[in-house]
Structures are given as C-alpha cells and as structure tokens.
Structure 1
C-alpha cells in the first residue's frame, strides 16, 4: 500500500492509502523522496478558489465555460515538484537510451504520492544531475516558472527590474534577473523575505506595507522608472503598483495566479498615460517570440544546470521538511502563517 495527499474539501487535507499499481509496458515505478508544496497554485485548490473547481476549461476553444457553483472535491495527488528513486523498470524499455535505470534519482511531476507509475517517455533524461542535492531538484518546476517570467520580461544588461512578491518563485526570479544583468528592486510585505532577496542579489528592497515601490523605483532610477517589472504575488494591487513602477513604454509581466476580481487595478492611470506593455507569463509555454528556441523542457534543464553549477541555491529556500502524515499542518502553515515559511517540502523518507 502507498499513500496520496488529498484535498477532501476547502482547507481539508487527508492522507489516504492507495493500492499499488501494476507496472505496464513502457513505464517506470518511482518511490518518492521529496515533494515540494506550491504556495500558489496548490493553495488555490486548498482554499477552493481555483477556477478549475467551479468552471470547465474548453481546451479546443481555450475558454472557461460555466460549470457548477460547488467546488469539485475530492482532489487527489496535486503537486508538481517531485523527486524520487526508480525502483522498477518495465522490461520493454529497460536499457533504452534516456530511460532511467533502477536506482536512479529522477525529477518530474507525479503529485504528492508515495509511489507513482510513470510512462518512461515522461521521465526521459530526467535523472538528477550528479552531485546535486535531490532537494534542489524539487524546484525544477517552480524554477521554470521564474525563468519563464524573466524570459518574458526581456531583461537586458544594465536595466532595472522591479520584482513584486518575494516568495519562492519571486526570489528565484530576483536571482535569475540579476544573473541576466539587471539591477533588481525587490518588493514584499515580509521582512525576512526581503533579507533573502538581498542574499539572492537584489540591489535594493522595499517593504510594500510602508513604502510605495513605484516611488522607490523612480528614486532608484533618477526619476525614469524601471525598465521592466515582474509581478509574482498574484495580488491585483501589486500588479497595479508594478505598472506604476515602470518607465514610459516599460514592460510588466503578470506571472502571478490572480484570483477573483482585479480590485485595485486602475488601467486609466499610469498604464494608459505611460503606454505600458502588459504581458502574461504562464508555465504552459514560453513567450511566443521565443517558441522556436525555448520550450518547457529547456527551461527545466536550464534551471537544473544553474542549480548544479551553484549559480542558484534553491535548497536555501527550504524552511520546513514535513512528514507526509503531517501534510494538513503543512498546508495550514502556508495558508495562515506565510511569514513563517518559504518552501515547505513533504519528506517521504521519514515515513
């Protein structure tokens, strides 16, 4: 028997037993070591605000259409930041080029479950780089989200970027924008996160509870404003401030997962008068103009390479390693006391 983390309802987490799946041809069996909890997408499911819970996504027309007023629960196996060990390989793919072997550590997406049967093609060449802490590999997906936002921002050497929201993805974006040659102004409401932003290379920080990031950005750039802004908090007030922070013709990347109505976003003000470019970054694909050179796989591997080379230290963002049996407490911590946690990881090695 194995286990899977399940949302039984809004703010109701269960760890339930599941039967072992048979191993079909072309598949691998993976025993999970670590699984990172997303404080963005997963919390929308935990809280019951995710649009997939009450609407239906029409993939052909790329539209949300009317669904039910009641959230669809239970939800099993959410999570997209897993690392595990291959324990069994189907004979028909064993030894094939790129297919992980028994005993290999692999990274991928199979949700918060103790064991998964995964098609070998999905884990092709997904072996954790030698010498890299397996915990670092749990950041592959969130690192790609941050990298995608930085690519969408088109940061150039010598430019100034404001990064709003210094949670895990925001801190990674701060680091990646700095590596891209930008001077980064990092904004957040939590002092410890601003300290971490400085550690990750931010040239200056702003406590958004006491100061206007837009005003600080103007002072920091001799009145011009930032060249680009990346908004990762998912807060519409922060998106408005990101728009205010950039120069005439500046670019704002909306990379947060915004919920509900955009209260506080006033598009008749700086957005209109400064002719600001507003673009969306979403992990489903790279910016369209880069699609010939970048894809999701390249973003994943680029982030892992940067971590393996020591250019980015994702393990330094892990504040809590929690036994899977205590998953409910982990989600409660992230939801109710965000100042106490950055990356929370479910640790299957302790169960």
Structure 2
C-alpha cells in the first residue's frame, strides 16, 4: 500500500509499505479520505529533525475490509469514521474496532469524525442553552462546524465574524442570524446592537489568532463564557487578564486529550451526520491525490478564496 511520509520541511514522500496486520481487537480500514488538519501545518512547515521521519494523518474515514478475531460489532463493508493518531495518509489503517463509528446514511467522503468530535465537544463544553446569544469568530472549517452545532441547540442569535467574503457567505448559508465582515464593521458594536447592549452569552474563538482572542473580551457579556477552539501555534498569546478577571469570564479550553471524551464526540458527530442533521458536504472544498499532499498543505497555508477544507482522497483499491 502507499503511505505519505514527512521527511523534510514541506516535503512528503510517498512510499510502498506492507498493508498492516490486524490484532484481535482491530479492524483493517480501506481509507476513503484523510483530512488535512491545521494542527499538522507547523510540523509540515518545519519538518522532522534531520534523519527522522513522521507519519501524520488523523482525520480518516473509510470502509472496513477485515475483522480481527475478537471483533463482533462491526461488519466487513461497513463505512466508518475512524480515530487514529498517525499514519492516516495511507491507503489502509489498522485500528481498534472501538475507535470506529458507523456513518450510517451519511456521505463517507466527508465523514471526518475526528474534527467533528472536536466541534461537538467544544459546543457541549461551552454549554450553549436555549435562547443564548452566541458569537463565532472565524468562519473556516471548524467555525462552520461549531456554528452548525450551536444552531442545533436553539440559540436566539448566532453572529459569525470573519474577514473573508466567501467565508461569510458560507456562514450566512449555514443559517447565521448575522454575519460581520471585521474589515468593514465593528464586531463589538454589532454584538451590542443585537443583544440590547448586553453582549454575547458565549463567544467561540475559532481562528487560532491573537486578534480573535482579543476580540472575545470585547464581545462577551459579564460572567459570559469564552471557548477557545482555535489551535494556537507560533508566538505566545497575550490577554488583558485584569480586565478578563473583572469581567468574570468563564474560560473554556475546547481542546480535549481524554480518549473517552474524543470517542464520545465522534459517536455523536457521526450520528448527526448519518441523520442528515450536520451538513459536511459543503465544508470539504478541495480534494487531492496522495501524490499531491504537499499541494494540499500549501493550500491550507494560503487559504485561497473558496477554501474551507482539503482532504486526501483515495480511489478504491483492491
């Protein structure tokens, strides 16, 4: 089978390796797509240490093609979203059966269970309630997922902010009650206008940038909640902590390392996807062959107009 191996800065190589053997509690999954994640961008830019190699890829969906001896709750031919921590940019992955979740009637080619789980867990941790006023800063892939999931919880307003016209158009199409182009309007002013001067009950930061973090403090009401969903890489961030303390913000770190939490989020996400309650088809904007994986990462870095999410797509193999 083919697998992408990171050997240098911005440099993957595609190699032929044996198909992995399954253990008794594992299944072999033929990969359909593997998502390109922002958390892997910095490792791609820097490359591994000299003489070492890395095998990224953790946003996998595919079809079960072989069962381990002890597996009884999955079937050969079943389409699943999968949790792996590496080696996902490959034609096959061997994975514990407990880490696979049926996509039901949902489209397999967009069933990116791991990032969906991140958004599910973020919205649940932030505890969005009926009638809440919510701000989502960032209308990229994760911001779109958060917006869709927030909307399922019955908020009064969902205000989505971004600097990209195409991203705001997509957010509007996903049902935002108000979109804000931050290059043209003041986000705090808009939030105050739609919340009778009170501010948002919950603000989701979904960009991983300093500017978005700063904006959270200007949009959220006293004793409101700020959920950090964005993946913060690069320079250290700063916060006006004295002001945030005085405002009594409830801070939610919407990143999760507990395996049980991750798996529950995946199960919930695939239930919603399979039931047609979560629209993922319009969020995957670009597909690349494995040989073009460096181009996929370059697109994630540049984010051209119309970009939301890139995946590596695998044609069906024997």
Do the structures match in fold with TM over 0.5?
yes
Cα displacement string for residues 305-348 of structure 1 (whole angstroms, at most 9, x for unaligned residues): 22222221111111112111111111111112343411111111
Tell me if the contact between 1:153 and 1:229 (Cα under 8 Å) persists in the aligned partners. Answer: no
Instruction: Choose 230-239 or 12-21, whichever is displaced more.
Output: 12-21
User: Residue 62 of structure 1 aligns with which residue?
Assistant: none
Correspondence for 1:158 among 119, 128, 131? 131
1:17-70 deviation per Cα after TM superposition (whole angstroms, max 9, x unaligned):
2223344444322221111111x2121322339xxx7xxxxxxxxxxxxxxxx6
Instruction: Give me the whole-angstrom Cα distance separating, in 2, the residues matched to 1:127 and 1:306.
Output: 11
1:113 aligns with 2:90: yes
Could you say which residue in structure 2 is the equivalent of 1:233?
Answer: 207
Confirm or deny that 1:81 pairs with 2:47. no
SS of 1:238's equivalent in the other structure is helix
Q: What are the residue-to-residue correspondences of 1:185-196 with 2, within 5 Å?
A: 185-196=159-170
* Partner Cα separation in structure 2 for residue 207 and residue 262 of structure 1: 26
2 CA distance for matches of 1:71 and 1:238? 35
Instruction: From 285, 289, 293, give the equivalent of 1:327.
Output: 293
Distance in 1 separating the partners of 2:76 and 2:274: 22
C-alpha contact 1:32 1:115 (8 A) present in aligned 2? yes
Offset of residue 214 of structure 1: 1.8
Which position in structure 1 is the counterpart of 2:122? 149
Stretches of structure 2 lacking an aligned partner (at least 5 in a row): none
Determine helix, strand or coil for the equivalent of 2:118. Answer: helix
1:28/1:79 CA distance change after superposition, 3 Å: same
Counterpart in the other structure of 2:186 = 212
Contact 1:148 1:281 in 2 (8 A): yes
Distance of aligned partners of 1:85 and 1:263 in 2 relative to their CA distance in 1, 3 Å threshold: closer
Deviations 1:165-207 (A, max 9, x none): 1111110101111111111110111111111111112110111
Looking at structure 2, the residues matched to 71 and 177 of structure 1 have their Cα atoms a distance apart, in angstroms, of 44
Residue of 252, 258, 261 corresponding to 1:279? 252
Are the structure 2 counterparts of residues 97 and 186 from structure 1 closer, same or farther at C-alpha, using a change threshold of 3 Å? same
User: Do structure 1's residue 202 and structure 2's residue 137 form an aligned pair?
Assistant: no
Provide the residue aligned with 1:47 in structure 2. Answer: 45
Give the match's secondary structure for 1:75: coil
Contact 2:32 2:63 in 1 (8 A): yes
Greater displacement, 307-316 / 186-195: 307-316
SS in structure 2 at match of 1:180: coil
Confirm or deny: 8 A CA contact 2:208 2:231 kept in the other structure. yes
SS at match of 2:256: coil
Provide closer, same or farther for how the CA distance between residues 73 and 10 of structure 1 changes in structure 2, counting only shifts above 3 A.
farther
Which secondary structure state, in structure 1, belongs to the residue aligned with residue 102 of structure 2? coil
Aligned length, in residue pairs: 313
Q: Tell me, in whole angstroms, the C-alpha distance in 1 between the residues paired with 2:288 and 2:129.
A: 39
CA RMSD of aligned residues (A): 2.3
Contact 2:103 2:271 in 1 (8 A): no
1:262–1:7 CA distance, 2 compared to 1 (3 A): same
Task: Name the SS of the counterpart of 1:334 in structure 2.
Answer: helix
Is the Cα contact below 8 Å between 2:287 and 2:313 reproduced in 1?
yes
Please list the CA deviations of residues 231-268 of structure 1 after superposition, one character each: whole Å capped at 9, or x if unmatched. Answer: 11111220110121011111101121112334453334
CA distance in 2, matches of 1:24, 1:259: 36
Q: In the alignment, which residue of structure 2 is the partner of 1:341?
A: 307
Does residue 298 of structure 1 match 2:297? no
Correspondent of 1:135 among 98, 109, 120: 109
